[in-house]
Structure 1
Amino acid sequence: MNPLRQPRPFFGVLGLVGLFLVLSCQEDRTASDSHKNALQGEIETELNHLVKVWYPKTIDTVNGGFWSDFNHRWEKDGEQKKFLVSQARHVWTTATLAQFFHDDSYTEMAAHGYRFLRDRMWDKEQGGFHSLLALEGDSLTVVSKGKSAYGNSFALYGLAAYYKVSKDSSALDLAKKTFAWLEEHAHDSVYGGYFDVLQRDGSWMLDLDENDKGYDNFIRKDWKDQNSSIHLLESFTALYEVWPDALLHKRLEELLVLIRDTIATDKGYLTLHLERDWTPVSFRDSSDTYRKKHFYLDHVSFGHDVETAFLMLEASHRLGITNDSLTARKAQQMVDHALEWGWDEKNGGFYDGGYYRAGGKRSIENRAKVWWTQAEGLNSLLLMAERHPREKPYYALFEKQWTYIRTKLIDHDYGGWYPEGLDTDPSAKTKAKAQIWKANYHNIRSLINVIKMLNGTFDLNEDEG
């Protein structure tokens, strides 16, 4: 036998095995791509349904701005107050949709909302935006007693988005005025950061002992907080994209460092309220009765934690910080902490709130699965999967979160999202689809970001794994 011919059957078997493995891998990739495409299609369909149920239905052509209150059947039902936060969020959403869909009809919707912010909600006497207007007969009246950095941050957010798509210089000018007003009135030049609760003229309330004028949120007057801080970070990020001002850069970086290194704890969650010098406010040593009564002031908010993970990465990216491993690690830690404690492993979805007790003991205090938390969770889970593909099953968790949203949050009869998952609140099926605290920026932003991540056009998904 010719020895040169002996190995040929052996190599032939190997060749067949290799070919089989290659074909199998190709089939696996094809199946995976097909599944991913189907998932993306589902999410794109939901985005289209969600947009159509909100617009143009919510546009108020009578009073300006957007209608606020709709029942579960999407019928106007409620006081229809004009809340700065939801009005500004509509401006941001419609401007963002104009850019995403390349559809000028949404630019005009954003322009409609911008004009309302400019003409009706801006305080022409003392600057800054009013927080709340109410319909009294045929007119709108200011009913808020003070001003809010949180509310003004969303006005800024909407203005920046509208300018980005419209190039209307008057909107950018108003955004600059808003930033200047926040700088003059809300910024703390000694300890950094911003106070949220302000008097109508923008002054602080640190020296006030009695709420004799009915100021809004008087209980929080001496404190700084995570919620206004993270949304100022968010709005400054958006403004810096269209106006790379040196002072704005400084304040954006200041907020990023404060949130990442001070407001976010070593465990990976945000402290809700802090003293002026950033000492955490805690009711841990108070009675259970007192602590539960003030739960909204001191707890672990899993929704804000997963949202902030995204906002910090977005800010770092916009600032142009290269190899920002500190922010990347903290963002991942915050998502991991929420998954480890606040995630429903059986059904999917993030719970609303937990509490760390003395000695490190902890408990879930509110098992509600609030709509906006689920939206932010969807966005951040896929972001972690994109950035850390070799660590933890983030993508599988993202898919489970989408299944939860699709089956427990989306109303497939009337459209829109329930205020809470049906597994934790079956009565959510007949609760309001929209009110002043429930607009659509959380879920529309999440769906747009997820679609971009799935089709490879999102710019924050660098592999850090």
Structure 2
Amino acid sequence: MRSLLLAVLLVGTVHAQPEAGPLTPDVRAALAEEVEVGLHQVLAAWYPRAVDREAGGFLSRFDAEWQPVGDQQKMVVTQARHTWTTAQAAMWTGDPAYAEMSLHGVAFLRDAMWDAEYGGFYWLVTRDGTPIPEGDGPIVKQAYGNAFGIYGLAAAHAATDDDDALALAQEAFGWLDAHAYDPVHGGYFNYLTREGEPLRAGLGRTPPKDQNSSIHILEAFTELYHVWPDPTLRDRIEEMLVLIRDRITVDPGTLTLFSTEDWTPVSYRDSAAAVREANWYYDHVSFGHDVETAYLMLEAAHAIGLDAAPTLAAGQRMLDHSLATGWDPANAGFVEAGYIYADGDPLVVVDATKNWWAQAEGLNTLLLFGDIVPAERARYHDRFVQMWGLIQGYLVDHGRGGWYAGTLDRQPHLREADKGSIWKGPYHNVRALMNVARRLRGEGE
């Protein structure tokens, strides 16, 4: 049944999107088996080859054949994500080798990426751990990077009971809250000096606050709360959840990408076309972030025991908007970006490529909402099954392992592109595949 189901999915995504039908217990079991195979294939592609036994931490960049290439600079986000992923793999498989890899990551975060003089995590270091400054000279730290440091350390403690990992996670939370938290307008400044002074005007042309650092601060704090239910931490989780849900998320159900200090949205809608185009990075609709946030908000609400109803409604609005305006009706999947030129105008897709991580997040969110929103179960489950077919048909490298950086139906040249970089590790797809497998087997209720 498993191979037959997969064949149907692959044919369906190439030519059309037939309705998948209900996810009966037998279908869920067959899909769970496929997903678990896919999960183990992703883990096998990355580990142990990514473990840097010479310089510590993890290697980041691999070519299409999984050969390490380049100077192997190490970003705290990547290092922490590998630490988190191996910790989750240890808990998933029971294999002590993964636990050792996670602690290997903890050691690099502690000994190389943590600033022993001023506190906080460096953003980027050389392969051997020498901090790399910004182009104009100074060391700049990011709340986004520090959040992921917390995230990886908390998971490592959960997997290994390592006290040092928890202690550093707690110290990193204290440093971030003391230096980046904004008690006036709420949330966190993303950019800080090495000493921990927030850059209230932002960094260069980049504004001081944004959705991406905010949603991952929420994610990291939630992970830490599972192993350290501190009351201040809980307050910050609730504050960030409400901020993201009720302020950063705007009509018709999408995230404001960048904001000023007081959370005024940065928008170029009223500018000339050339100005809008030049500033597209700061002002567009990111469907991947929207569907990811729908999940992260619910995860946070559940962790702190908050009434989930308003968060579920907000997340469903984000998912529905993404399906209505950012879904590929031919081969399935969420496209990269859209733009709403004026209130009331229809969204225009400005980048129709489909990156790997947005499909992973979409897979997770579609199954979750299909399971918990009975009125839309058939629609969300259909899209979930179609997404799985897209992933198997156009993202998974069945010969060499791992996932391509984007779907081959839109970007066939990515077949020979790098499999790994400081921005492409296994965190998104491993998390999605684990969550999906658990839920398909009835373990995520």
State TM-score, norm by structure 2.
Answer: 0.92
Q: Secondary structure at the match of 2:126?
A: strand
Provide the rounded CA distance (Å) in 2 between the counterparts of 1:30 and 1:288: 46
Kindly report which structure 2 residues correspond to 1:186-225, keeping only aligned pairs within 5 A, or say none. 186-206=180-200, 217-220=203-206, 222-225=207-210
Provide the rounded CA distance (Å) in 2 between the counterparts of 1:316 and 1:195: 23
Residue of structure 2 aligned with 1:141, choices 122, 130, 155: 130
Q: Quote the offset at 1:358 in angstroms.
A: 2.1
Q: Secondary structure at the match of 1:141?
A: coil
Provide the rounded CA distance (Å) in 1 between the counterparts of 2:53 and 2:289: 34
1:158 pairs with 2:142: no
Counterpart in the other structure of 1:393:
379
Kindly report which structure 2 residues correspond to 1:207-356, keeping only aligned pairs within 5 A, or say none. 217-220=203-206, 222-322=207-307, 324-356=308-340
Q: Which structure carries more relative contact order (alpha carbon 8 Å, separation 6+)?
A: 2
Provide the rounded CA distance (Å) in 1 between the counterparts of 2:201 and 2:427: 36
Superposed structure 1 runs of 4+ greater than 6 Å apart: none
Counterpart in the other structure of 1:173:
167
Provide the rounded CA distance (Å) in 1 between the counterparts of 2:46 and 2:23: 35
- Paired residues of 1:65 and 1:112 also in contact (CA < 8 A): yes
Counterpart in the other structure of 1:414:
400
Counterpart in the other structure of 1:7:
none
Alignment gaps of 5+ in structure 1: 1-28, 209-216, 460-465
- Paired residues of 1:382 and 1:450 also in contact (CA < 8 A): yes
Counterpart in the other structure of 1:18:
none
Q: Quote the offset at 1:31 in angstroms.
A: 9.6
Select the structure of larger CA radius of gyration: 1
Residue of structure 2 aligned with 1:112, choices 96, 101, 104: 104
Q: Structure 1, residues 42-74: CA drift from partner, whole Å, max 9, x if none?
A: 111111111101000100000000011100110
Letter in 2 for 1:449: N
Give the count of matched residue pairs: 418
Alignment gaps of 5+ in structure 2: 1-20, 134-138
Q: Quote the offset at 1:141 in angstroms.
A: 1.7
Letter in 1 for 2:419: K
Provide the rounded CA distance (Å) in 1 between the counterparts of 2:379 and 2:287: 19
Letter in 1 for 2:122: H
1:51 pairs with 2:40: no
Q: Quote the offset at 1:287 in angstroms.
A: 1.7
Letter in 2 for 1:64: G
Provide the rounded CA distance (Å) in 1 between the counterparts of 2:421 and 2:126: 13
- Paired residues of 1:197 and 1:218 also in contact (CA < 8 A): no
Q: Quote the offset at 1:207 in angstroms.
A: 6.5
Kindly report which structure 2 residues correspond to 1:436-447, keeping only aligned pairs within 5 A, or say none. 436-447=422-433
Identity among equivalent positions (%) equals 47
Provide the rounded CA distance (Å) in 1 between the counterparts of 2:82 and 2:322: 28
Name the Cα RMSD after superposition. 1.5
Q: Quote the offset at 1:227 in angstroms.
A: 0.2
Q: Quote the offset at 1:202 in angstroms.
A: 1.3
Q: Secondary structure at the match of 2:375?
A: coil
Q: Structure 1, residues 191-236: CA drift from partner, whole Å, max 9, x if none?
A: 110010111111122379xxxxxxxx4222x421000000000000
Counterpart in the other structure of 2:93:
101
Q: Secondary structure at the match of 2:108?
A: helix
